[in-house]
Amino acid sequence: MKTIHTDQFAAWSRRLRRSDHTAYSELFRATYDPLYRYAWQFTHDQDTAYDVLQDVFLKLWQIRERIDPTRSLKALLYQMVRNTALNQIRYDKRHAADALEDILHEPATSDAHAADLDAGDLEAEMESWIAEMPERRREAFMLSRYQGLSHAEIAQIMDLAPKTVNNHIVLALQHLRERLMAHQPDRMVS
């Protein structure tokens, strides 16, 4: 999704406003993978992530005539995925008595994954350091670093002030730098 140009999203916005079915299909094909992965960060469950993806796109078609082509469609999609996923897990927590399982899920993403890899592996260390961050900071950093979203877009998605996003990114990078310094000081000498 990082490779898709902003102009392309603006073109899809305009075509969606005209109820262009082809644009709708193209947009889904081009964006489902990162959006599904983003949804999974909240749901930790594939089936729920698929449901979120489908709900978001169904909703997008319903509101297509009100899409503002001057605003970021990419950010709108992430924002819708985020809200839908959070609603979904809130609903699940209310309805399933398995809240405990959700809590158990949380560290499983980072720790289990990190444990799979060689302890000396920088990537594995990085992943565990990313996982250590406070939830919102980690999310802002992941959207910035790995999804190529601008601070303004992240602010819209997470409903934060742009300055807060900026602070999150700086603090996230500082956190990683401290860990790197403690662990592999030679990597930071350059």
First to last CA, the chain: 31
- Beta-carbon contacts of 69 under 8 Å, excluding residues fewer than 6 positions away, are 10, 13, 14, 17
CA–CA separation, 36 and 158 (whole Å): 17
Candidate list 46, 90, 101, 105; residue touching another protein; CB under 8 A? 46
Query: What x/- string results for residues 128 through 157 when contact with another protein is judged by CB under 8 A?
Result: --xx----------x-xxxxx-xx------
Tell me the C-alpha distance between 140 and 149, whole Å: 9
**Alpha-carbon distance 72 to 190, whole Å?**
37
Choose between 51 and 92: whose C-beta lies nearer to another protein.
Answer: 51
For another protein, the binding residues in 91-130 under the rule CB under 8 A are 109-110, 113, 122-124, 126-127, 130
Nearer to another protein (CB atom), residue 10 or residue 180: 180
Is 25 a binding residue for another protein by CB under 8 A? The answer is yes
54 lies in the binding site for another protein (CB under 8 A) = yes
Q: Identify which of residues 26 and 92 has a Cβ nearer to another protein in the complex.
A: 26
